[in-house]
């Protein structure tokens, strides 16, 4: 399963260092590429493959002058891994040079692309982000107004998006009307910022102010924020997976501390699926808060039985399965004195394909575990995601054509249990009507393409 991306925007003072360091804080959201665009008399863009410090050199950073800017860390969904798809993407348009950084996925991207191509537009990439950028240029030209063009473009977009945007000498951030993707605003010294996660402000000694409202357009200026709010009703569809896995545990996502949600989920999991064991062992780092909650509720001691090599990429978001497989043994090493001869409860956030989990169970067995019990802090993933995670083919899921007992045998565990949907909702303190649970239930907050025909749509 591929992860989303991370975005940041800034205005006021010299923004290059804030953008660079902010992207490093958001590095967990994407490791394929990184990029920054700033404006100083003209648009300046630096992008590259790899981690932030590899993609943007000190010479690049010195060149990125200006008082407004946006940044992006990427893991590809639509558009693949082509360097042409690295962001921020740029074009020249009526209101000046434009740049965009996008977190999310546009469901009707193909239709928008066809409409634009019929009007004479050409495309350099297969990315849905390029389609958004060109649609923005068209709508701004037709309305004669930047904010009006953004509003009109939002009416055309179906899907998930948090956007950071430069238009000439102006900077904006935009959140989709269902607030599927996270976005928040704050301040770092004299720089006004927006970012995918609040942890950016904590880590850089700044001040988190609030989440961007659903459907809100915010202009970042040197003196603060100007809200151009687009009313979207009361409907929300926050992605539950932000709390389960994607966001850092020290982030607040839409008012909920991620660590608290995961810990409470672990407690629910222990109450729903108790088992006798000697130790609760997290799969680092994603399962740690869940495991702490499980241990607290069950009274079974928590132990670090798997030691993580922190210089290995997150396998979950690596592009190829072969890369994920080969890196598991490099990434995790068992602590044999904790595991050998013991009954172990392995706790993780989720299972998608199951190949990684299967290898981890083998590692724990090889270290001498007497029993291995899997406890998972997310209900079974059974349906594709069309809103920012590259899990489109349900045949790849460990749940495909397998019942719980068959999955347990495939993974090599003695027992297997997931938290229930009700347990997850209780931990989040939110109802189904406030969340996107599409990958769990097959019910989506927007029309989505079927797996067999991208031109057909399922009902809302």
Q: What are the counts of helices (DSSP H) followed by strands (DSSP E) for the chain?
A: 16, 23
Beta bridge partners of 224: 221
Q: Side-chain half-sphere of 220: how many Cα atoms within 13 Å?
A: 31
The string of pLDDT tens digits covering residues 84-128 is 789 999 999 999 999 999 999 999 999 999 999 998 888 888 889
Same fold, 6-235 and 253-430: no
Instruction: Give the pLDDT confidence score for residue 323 in this predicted structure.
Output: 53
Compute the distance between CA of residue 371 and CA of residue 416 in angstroms, rounded to an integer.
12
Instruction: Give the pLDDT confidence score for residue 451 in this predicted structure.
Output: 52
Q: Indicate the pLDDT class of residue 313, thresholds 50, 70 and 90.
A: low
The string of pLDDT tens digits covering residues 181-207 is 999 999 999 999 999 999 999 999 999
Catalytically annotated residues: 5
Name the burial class of residue 455, with classes exposed (0-12), middle (13-18) and buried (19+) by CB atoms within 10 angstroms of its CB.
exposed
> 29, 75 in Cβ contact below 8 A?
yes
Per residue in 25-52, is it b (16+ CB within 10 Å) or e — as a string?
Answer: bbbbbbbbbbbbbbbbeebbbbbbeebb
Instruction: List, as one string, the DSSP characters of 11-53.
Output: ESS--HHHHHHHHHHTGGG--SEEEEEEEESEEEEEEEESSHH
pLDDT over 60 (residue 170)? yes
The string of pLDDT tens digits covering residues 402-421 is 999 999 999 999 999 999 99
The string of pLDDT tens digits covering residues 220-266 is 999 999 999 876 667 899 999 999 999 999 999 999 999 999 999 99
Domain limits of the chain?
6-235, 253-430
Question: CA dihedral defined by 392, 393, 394, 398, rounded to 10 degrees?
Answer: -110
Compute the distance between CA of residue 84 and CA of residue 64 in angstroms, rounded to an integer.
20
pLDDT over 70 (residue 320)? no
Domain 253-430: which CATH number of 2.60.120.560, 3.30.1330.60, 1.10.1610.10, 3.40.50.2020: 3.40.50.2020
Evaluate whether the domain defined by 6-235 bears CATH number 3.60.20.10.
Answer: yes
Dump strand ranges (E) for 365-459: 371-376, 415-418, 435-436
Computed over every residue of the chain, the mean pLDDT equals 91
Q: Is the model more confident about 15 or about 327?
A: 15
pLDDT over 50 (residue 305)? yes
Compute the distance between CA of residue 332 and CA of residue 316 in angstroms, rounded to an integer.
13
Q: Is the model more confident about 391 or about 349?
A: 349
> 377, 287 in Cβ contact below 8 A?
yes
């Amino acid at each position: 399963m591929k992860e989303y991306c991370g975005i940041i925007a800034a205005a006021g003072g010299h923004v290059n260092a804030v953008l660079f360091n902010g992207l490093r804080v958001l590095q967990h959201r994407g490791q394929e590429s990184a990029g920054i665009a700033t404006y100083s008399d003209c648009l300046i863009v630096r992008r590259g493959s790899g981690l932030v410090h590899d993609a943007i050199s000190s010479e690049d950073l010195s060149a990125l002058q200006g008082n407004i800017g946006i940044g992006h860390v990427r893991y590809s969904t639509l558009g693949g891994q082509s360097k042409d798809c690295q962001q921020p993407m740029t074009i020249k348009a009526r209101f000046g040079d434009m740049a965009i950084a996008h977190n999310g996925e546009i469901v009707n991207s193909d239709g928008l692309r066809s409409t634009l191509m019929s009007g004479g537009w050409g495309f350099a990439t297969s990315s849905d982000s390029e389609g958004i950028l060109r649609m923005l240029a068209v709508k701004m030209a037709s309305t004669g107004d930047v904010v009006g063009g953004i509003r009109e473009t939002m009416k055309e977009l179906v899907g998930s998006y948090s956007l950071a945007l430069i238009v000439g000498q102006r900077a904006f951030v935009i959140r989709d009307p269902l607030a599927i993707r996270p976005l928040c605003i704050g301040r770092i010294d004299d720089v006004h910022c927006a970012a995918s996660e609040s942890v950016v402000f904590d880590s850089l000694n700044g001040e988190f102010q609030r989440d961007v409202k659903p459907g809100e357009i915010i202009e970042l200026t040197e003196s603060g924020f100007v809200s151009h709010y687009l009313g979207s009703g009361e409907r929300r569809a926050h992605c539950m997976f932000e709390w389960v896995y994607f966001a850092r545990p020290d982030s607040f996502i839409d008012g909920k501390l991620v660590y608290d949600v995961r810990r409470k989920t672990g407690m629910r999991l222990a109450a729903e699926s108790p088992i006798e064991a000697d130790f609760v062992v997290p799969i680092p780092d994603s399962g740690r808060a869940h495991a702490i909650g499980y241990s607290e509720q069950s009274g079974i001691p928590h132990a670090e039985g798997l030691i993580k090599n922190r210089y290995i990429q997150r396998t979950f978001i690596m592009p190829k399965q072969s890369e994920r497989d080969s890196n598991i043994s490099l990434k995790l090493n068992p602590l044999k004195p904790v595991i050998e001869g013991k009954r172990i409860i392995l706790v993780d956030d989720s299972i998608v394909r199951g190949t990684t989990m299967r290898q981890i169970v083998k590692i724990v067995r090889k270290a001498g575990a007497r029993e291995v019990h899997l406890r998972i802090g997310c209900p079974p993933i059974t349906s594709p995601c069309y809103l920012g995670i590259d899990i489109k083919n349900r045949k790849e899921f460990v749940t495909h054509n397998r019942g719980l007992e068959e999955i347990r045998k495939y993974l090599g565990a003695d027992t297997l249990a997931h938290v229930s949907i009700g347990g997850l909702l209780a931990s989040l303190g939110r109802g189904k009507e406030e969340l996107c649970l599409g990958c769990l239930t097959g019910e989506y907050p927007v029309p989505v393409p079927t797996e067999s025909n991208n031109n057909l749509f399922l009902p809302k």
